Amino acid sequence: MERTCAIDTANKIGQEVTISGWVDGRRDHGKLIFLDIRDMTGIVQAVVNPRVSAGAHKAAEELRNEFVVEAKGRVNRRPENLINPKMATGTVEIEITDLEILARAEPLPFELDTNLNIDTYLDNQPLTLRSRKNQAIFRLQAAIAQSFRDYLKGMKFTEFQAPKIVAQAAEGGAEVFRIKYFDHNAYLAQSPQLYKQIMVGVFERVFTVTSVYRAEPHSTTRHLNEYVSLDMEMGFIKDHTDVMKVLNGWMAYLIEQLQKNNAADVKLLEIKLPAVPKEIPSLKLKDAQEILEKECGAKNAIGQSDLDPEHERLICKYAQEKLNSEFIFITHYPTKKRPFYTYPDEQDPETTKSFDLLFRGVEITTGGQRINDYNQLLANIDKWGYKRENFSFYLEAFKYGMPPEGGCATGLERLTQKLVGVDNVKLATLFPRDMNRIDLSLGKLKL
Amino acid sequence: MERTCAIDTANKIGQEVTISGWVDGRRDHGKLIFLDIRDMTGIVQAVVNPRVSAGAHKAAEELRNEFVVEAKGRVNRRPENLINPKMATGTVEIEITDLEILARAEPLPFELDTNLNIDTYLDNQPLTLRSRKNQAIFRLQAAIAQSFRDYLKGMKFTEFQAPKIVAQAAEGGAEVFRIKYFDHNAYLAQSPQLYKQIMVGVFERVFTVTSVYRAEPHSTTRHLNEYVSLDMEMGFIKDHTDVMKVLNGWMAYLIEQLQKNNAADVKLLEIKLPAVPKEIPSLKLKDAQEILEKECGAKNAIGQSDLDPEHERLICKYAQEKLNSEFIFITHYPTKKRPFYTYPDEQDPETTKSFDLLFRGVEITTGGQRINDYNQLLANIDKWGYKRENFSFYLEAFKYGMPPEGGCATGLERLTQKLVGVDNVKLATLFPRDMNRIDLSLGKLKL
């Protein structure tokens, strides 16, 4: 008999079905054994009655959580007083006639869906990811990536695949991972930046969902050494504000899609989805710093080249309270603190046509207009003290005609974290890598 | 004035428009200068008449291919005898009134769309990728990745992000790239295999589009050291044939989508899209080897543990001629030549419930059923001579209940190569890495 998914049993009252899944709960009421059976669509309750099937009852006596079973039975409507309105299948119950154990599970070391110490959670991800909460978080993460692709595709962007092995640290920094590449050294890409700019010459508008690497020796609630970057880049822009508009549009589309397609996960996680303003408010860094000191009680903001984490938190609070927005753009970061390809503001060349998008206290996106003039790029490479020959591949895109262009990069895990409201980015990351951990603690592994 | 895309000019006869793009061709007919202007949607012809605009004509005199321009003008219908039926905008021509140069281009070192020596092509990808042929190849590549995601999403698969930094070579082989990871060694993932199996425990059906790494010291028309793997894995299967059915279904969907959405690229590249049989023919390795020797004139096939490249070519030829299919499954590879997690065939435990999918002479996919029983996995890890503790993270997924499951992995670049019909996989790879090249020849770089 063909398999019926848990969620579909609610529409099959009176029918015989076969369901498969994991035991998500088992309650032994003397004679009757009640099972919650979980599959990719949800959970359904089943009851094993020895008078209906002695064999099934015997098998059910052995079950523990996470055993994998296939069960045949009849879908019954529950009596009115036993209907569970919180459950999508709360109106039905399967009366099991056959029960087969497909795989056994050892006794769980802890209950799923309990609050675990983060190291215990991470050490046991193959098990802990199965909790309803974690399933919901990573289903939402998949929805974020999909919305990014769908929205941009609707705007004629073309997807491309960015390489992760690069010949050198593109932007000069020391915080790169080194690879032994045959007889050479190579590095893990810090970003697909140079490749996406090259691809503007090919397709004009491009995006990629790609892993990026930072060898930062920190293990905090904000840091990941490997993360997923949602990168886009577009040609024929007026300036950085055209990129901000596309990003703003994607955020609105994302929230709309989550409301439409992920309502159950949003409810389960008790997420308050943000309203996305038609035009997200925007402040120049300098103005934000003044507000921070004058209105938010911050110190050491004015004159700095960036916002520190506390400033990010405070300016988001300000945006929410005074500008009625959980999102805020900060623009015009100083030229000397941005990469060599960042477009300087003609009105104030010490600052750039760059922006960060902040959401719920942290930067989730960074972007801006890029220098598209070949000679200006050459001059900046000299000025930054880099070697032109190290950028010769990249520079070819500009030597042969590059329109005014810009783009941005959004951290998938950070955006997930802030949307779902967990307090450590590692809780929004499948298999996070940090300086002490690759799946398991590096100290414990014998490598 | 808002920008009009090239393709849309055909519907704006009589209107004033602004178009932006690259000069894709320039023909100076004495007084009149004709320009082909290329943007992300296609190409449109424009004419610059000094009697219409002396300024525009002066600017047009300076233009060369790949200059970037913005032009204002009027869309005119071409006289009947000048209509170009091969061009989507072949019925119109823009009479330019204003012409602004947005970026200059140096004289091209060669014509785009000429056949270049592969090293010249690769050394100059920021330029050579702009040719119509290469645009079409990589638009089709994007369509392949999208069809994979869309098809599986329609079958309740959930996307996940696989890490690329791993603590050890998962499958034992020596051909891995080593990373200096803080005070430890780490490696680049050869595949997301162990993670996708873990994720079956979470979502039952999962997929990922991910980069994978092979440190094979070969530089051939078949090898890539970094490539994109389209990976899927599903629980509650009967055996490997359930995975083959999903793969078969995706192939049919892919070809249907390409016919529907990418007709222009298919035409430009003169691709003959394959028919996908409702059930792709399947041969056990042993039977395929007999056919190879008895019917195809192959040598050294029988008794080998795999097909060599020549065998793959011959068995595909056989499938096309005798079985009327450009695709063929080869199943039941020997146990000793497949990874430790491969499910042995109960009828013949020296062989496995594994398969490869071959298409137009090469293997594009490999897959199979996996061992889902915890104790059987432990026994195999011992038998293969690995250390159990090195797999403890992975094993936790099986310790706590894993259904019968399987999956497969398709190489994006190889599938692209065979679909578009280029003779080197590097011609179907954006920025290919091989032992001698990371963008540019490693011998030439000073690293």
* A443 burial level (CB within 10 Å; 0-12, 13-18, 19+): exposed
pLDDT at A172: 60
Chain B residues touching A103 at Cβ < 8 A: 372-374, 398, 401-404
Cβ–Cβ below 8 Å for A66 and B400: yes
User: How far is residue B177 from each of residues A138, A217, B187, B413, measured CA to CA in Å?
Assistant: 29, 21, 6, 20
Cβ–Cβ below 8 Å for A440 and B177: no
In a domain, B149, yes or no: yes
Chain B residues touching A130 at Cβ < 8 A: 201-202, 400
A228 with A357, same domain? yes
A207 touches A231 (CB < 8 A): yes
Selected residue of B18, B38, B40 to mutate for chain A interface (largest A Cβ count, 10 A): B40
Between B429 and B217, name the one with better pLDDT. B429
Q: With an 8 Å Cβ cutoff, is A82 touching chain B?
A: no
* Cα atoms found within 13 Å of the Cα of residue B245, Cβ hemisphere only: 8
User: How many distinct structural domains can be found in chain A?
Assistant: 2
Selected residue of A41, A130, A161 to mutate for chain B interface (largest B Cβ count, 10 A): A161
Give the Cα-Cα-Cα angle B113, B117, B123 (nearest 5 degrees).
85
Q: What is the residue type of B349?
A: P
In a domain, A300, yes or no: no
- Read off the pLDDT of residues A62-115 as tens digits, 9 standing for 90 and up: 999 999 999 999 999 999 999 999 899 999 999 999 999 999 999 999 998 888
A185 vs B166, B225, B447: nearest CB: B447
A136 with A51, same domain? no
Chain B residues touching A198 at Cβ < 8 A: 125-126, 129
Closest chain A C-alpha to B304 CA, distance in angstroms: 30
In a domain, B211, yes or no: yes
Q: How far apart are CA A7 and CA A43, in angstroms?
A: 7
Q: Going edge to edge, which strands form the sheet with B405-411? A: B158-159, B205-213, B226-235, B405-411, B362-370, B354-359, B327-331, B282-284
CATH number, residue B56: 2.40.50.140
A409 touches A227 (CB < 8 A): no
pLDDT at B374: 98
B99 touches B60 (CB < 8 A): yes
In a domain, A387, yes or no: yes
pLDDT at B9: 97
Q: With an 8 Å Cβ cutoff, is B320 touching chain A?
A: no
pLDDT at B354: 98
pLDDT beyond 50 at A447:
no
- Tell me what ipTM this predicted complex has: 0.97
B142 with B196, same domain? yes
Q: With an 8 Å Cβ cutoff, is B76 touching chain A?
A: no
- Read off the pLDDT of residues B283-323 as tens digits, 9 standing for 90 and up: 999 999 999 999 999 999 999 999 999 999 999 999 999 99
B155 with B35, same domain? no
Q: With an 8 Å Cβ cutoff, is B3 touching chain A?
A: yes
In a domain, A447, yes or no: no
Q: What 3-state class would DSSP assign to A345?
A: strand
B211 with B359, same domain? yes
B130 vs A104, A141, A202: nearest CB: A202
A80 with A131, same domain? no
Q: How far apart are CA A327 and CA A410, in angstroms?
A: 14
B423 with B332, same domain? yes
Task: pLDDT band for B172, please (50, 70, 90 cuts).
Answer: low
B25 with B134, same domain? no
DSSP B349: E
Strand blocks (E) in B64-140: 68-77, 92-103
Which residues span the domain enclosing A18?
6-103
Cβ–Cβ below 8 Å for B103 and A182: no
Cβ–Cβ below 8 Å for B179 and A179: yes
Cβ–Cβ below 8 Å for A163 and B431: yes
Chain B residues touching A398 at Cβ < 8 A: 103
Chain A residues touching B204 at Cβ < 8 A: 39-40
Q: With an 8 Å Cβ cutoff, is B415 touching chain A?
A: no
Q: How far apart are CA A343 and CA B133, in angstroms?
A: 32
Task: pLDDT band for A445, please (50, 70, 90 cuts).
Answer: low
Question: How many contacts does A have with B, using Cβ atoms within 8 A?
Answer: 284
Chain B residues touching A180 at Cβ < 8 A: 177-178
Q: With an 8 Å Cβ cutoff, is B236 touching chain A?
A: yes
Chain B residues touching A108 at Cβ < 8 A: 400
Selected residue of A202, A388, A390 to mutate for chain B interface (largest B Cβ count, 10 A): A202
Q: With an 8 Å Cβ cutoff, is B77 touching chain A?
A: no
CATH number, residue A254: 3.30.930.10
Q: What b/e readout covers A245-265, taking b as 16+ CB neighbours within 10 angstroms? A: ebbbbbbbbbbebbeeebeeb
In a domain, B420, yes or no: yes
In a domain, B302, yes or no: no
Cβ–Cβ below 8 Å for A404 and B102: yes
- Read off the pLDDT of residues B431-445 as tens digits, 9 standing for 90 and up: 999 999 999 988 766
Segment A224-243 shows an average pLDDT of 98
B267 with B403, same domain? yes
Residue B70: phi and psi, rounded to 5, are -120, 130
Domain boundary among B43, B70, B103: B103
B5 touches B39 (CB < 8 A): yes
According to DSSP, the residues that pair with A434 across neighbouring strands are: A437
pLDDT at B118: 94
Residues 6+ positions from B427 with CB-CB distance below 8 Å: B118, B121, B137, B417
In a domain, B54, yes or no: yes
* Cα atoms found within 13 Å of the Cα of residue B437, Cβ hemisphere only: 25
B92 with B141, same domain? no
B67 with B159, same domain? no
A249 with A142, same domain? yes
